[in-house]
Structure 1
């Protein structure tokens, strides 16, 4: 593995294709100053999420795992004027910072930050009988991925796209005997996705400034 080369290529791609943005840059700076872990998506990954949401014509987006709101900003900007995004965050301090970052980006009217355990929030959203979401982005603790997939499916419709980030774990996902809770959570997610007749799923490995990882993408059928 050559992390220096991967980072250099990401820097070139982002510098060429992803213009600097004051709101996004401020969100990263504020997150770093507050001591949040630097586990947000990279700029080119954020742009990929935004493009997928735009290509899909998403009007309602659900994000599981807000952190400082960096990916939230990318996704919310893909929405039409009457679109909405709900994002779930267990840490109230992170949620408060994300709220400030979203306000700075002018997206407060489109985004709702719900604070609390994500699995419980998903259950609550289903009980509230909210309209199904067009796109769901899962980017939270990986040991919770099986529960998040179950919750996401309860809030989906035929055609909903579900994306789960950080599923390769530097290759550890292929280790059948791993006792790492993050690895076993992702492996169970894959098993559930493969066994569910409603889902068509693939996964892609990625390398870049965030290291060796990848994402899974599913579409819900009728």
Structure 2
């Protein structure tokens, strides 16, 4: 077996997406509108969106916290996973992004399940204290703040809460200790926190998909 090339893994990712995810007008329009608004194409790949959706369902999640809304693509996947009466609270720092996401989420028919909180996550997260605990937390925002977000995931969760951290592979750079750039260092510190903080039990997987070579960390609050 030869080592995979980008063309190889992208072809396989498209096959997985076509076979297991299929086409979805609301999701595809959300990506289109995100691009039209000038936002970067950093939403999760379709197979990863379905992965989040299934994790939320497997966990029986009724309350989901998402840190980093962008254009609402992953938010729609998560909102479709929670049952009637469930709630997705998603935090977006940029008001313009939040407005695009709101339109896409409403068009997808899950608007009543989604509460978009606009503001920097470091300021919004403390306002969630005292609410019912979250059953699943998805962290997909600035990597420099991953340790802050993980701390709040534990504080706002409960024993058994599922925590997912996206983009932890960074094309292999996380394993290069000489790379001290802010995003790489923030990602590395988050992973080390998951390893050492007694509130978590965690692992991480490399991913090869439409977004390239990266990874995802999966943790449980204990």
**TM-score, normalization: structure 1?**
0.96
The residue aligned with 2:143 is 142
Q: Among 111, 115, 128, which residue is 2:114 paired with?
A: 111
Instruction: Provide the C-alpha distance between the structure 2 equivalents of 1:5 and 1:32, rounded to a whole number of angstroms.
Output: 26
Q: Among 17, 22, 41, which residue is 2:20 paired with?
A: 17
Question: Structure 2: which 5+ runs fail to align?
Answer: none
Instruction: Provide the C-alpha distance between the structure 1 equivalents of 2:70 and 2:80, rounded to a whole number of angstroms.
Output: 17
Does the CA-based 8 Å contact 1:159-1:219 persist in structure 2? yes
Does the CA-based 8 Å contact 1:200-1:219 persist in structure 2? yes
* Deviation, structure 1 residue 168: 0.6
Instruction: Provide the C-alpha distance between the structure 2 equivalents of 1:119 and 1:215, rounded to a whole number of angstroms.
Output: 22
Instruction: Provide the C-alpha distance between the structure 2 equivalents of 1:105 and 1:123, rounded to a whole number of angstroms.
Output: 29
Does 2:63 correspond to 1:60?
Answer: yes
Instruction: Map 1:203-222 onto structure 2 (within 5 A).
Output: 203-221=204-222
Does 2:86 correspond to 1:91?
Answer: no
The residue aligned with 1:187 is 188
**TM-score, normalization: structure 2?**
0.96
* Deviation, structure 1 residue 177: 2.4
Instruction: Provide the C-alpha distance between the structure 1 equivalents of 2:6 and 2:148, rounded to a whole number of angstroms.
Output: 32
Does 2:127 correspond to 1:124?
Answer: yes
Question: Over aligned residue pairs, what C-alpha RMSD do you find?
Answer: 0.9
Does the CA-based 8 Å contact 1:201-1:216 persist in structure 2? yes
Question: Structure 1: which 5+ runs fail to align?
Answer: none
Instruction: Provide the C-alpha distance between the structure 1 equivalents of 2:22 and 2:10, rounded to a whole number of angstroms.
Output: 17
Instruction: Provide the C-alpha distance between the structure 2 equivalents of 1:174 and 1:119, rounded to a whole number of angstroms.
Output: 27
When structure 1 is superposed on structure 2, of 31-40 and 189-198 the one drifting more is 189-198
Pairs aligned (count): 219
Runs of 4+ deviating beyond 6 Å: none
